[in-house]
Structure 1
């Protein structure tokens, strides 16, 4: 065998190992957000100044979620870890009207999921309870 053949042999082995590794690598699984919910306050309505629980249900714990209110990040929610297939945060609307609450994966390319909430009134916050008037 010539010196050139000896020099090329390790390259051929490396190429074969690399090709085999690519075939044996696990395939990425696409995970989805299955629901976004906003828990209404007493009386079932929504009011400004009251705080509500916003949750996203996800089919895997390994991701982080970001929540948006009308396309703006909700304060304090960047990269929330999904735990028990849910990511949640407290949301206090500051304006009346229609609010589109969206959950999306922080890193993945999966489709966001939204729900619409109508904030009809100014909330009356009594400390331990908040009523939408």
Structure 2
């Protein structure tokens, strides 16, 4: 009987060793499009609209975007990419990150220096930063 239990344990142990762990939904890259905005220190200004971009591994699960740890939007990806508008409210350094699973750690983010934005038609001039 003990030989049988040992053999069964060995088979299950070998099977567990070869089991492939399931990969969860992950954001692999976060980026930001600066549009036509311009400034001496940075191209990102308060009150101006930018497009945040997250590259994801799951083409269906929603993506939550964060600005300095505070969520600012949720979107579904299209073709492995999630896009959302971002309007910074305050000057300074902003860490924009995204996750695809609830309570997942941030694995991709981008730090963006934001100055004071002044709208000029389709673009913004950025002062400071």
TM over 0.5: yes
Which structure's CA Rg is the greater one? Answer: 1
Question: Please, which runs of 5 or more residues in structure 1 have no aligned partner?
Answer: 1-25
Q: Does 1:99 align with 2:99?
A: no
Deviations 1:61-98 (A, max 9, x none): 02111001011111xx13x1111111111111110001
**Does structure 1 conserve the Cα–Cα contact (< 8 Å) formed by 2:63 and 2:82?**
yes
In the TM superposition, residue 58 of structure 1 has moved relative to its aligned partner by: 0.9
TM-score by length of 2: 0.69
Task: Provide the aligned C-alpha RMSD in A.
Answer: 2.2
State the SS of the aligned residue for 1:55. strand
Give TM-score scaled by structure 1 length: 0.68
- 1:34 aligned to which of 28, 31, 34: 28
**Structure 1: how far apart are the matches of 2:117 and 2:55?**
27
- Gaps of at least 5 residues in structure 2 are 1-19
Q: CA deviation at 1:110?
A: 6.0
Count, aligned residues: 104
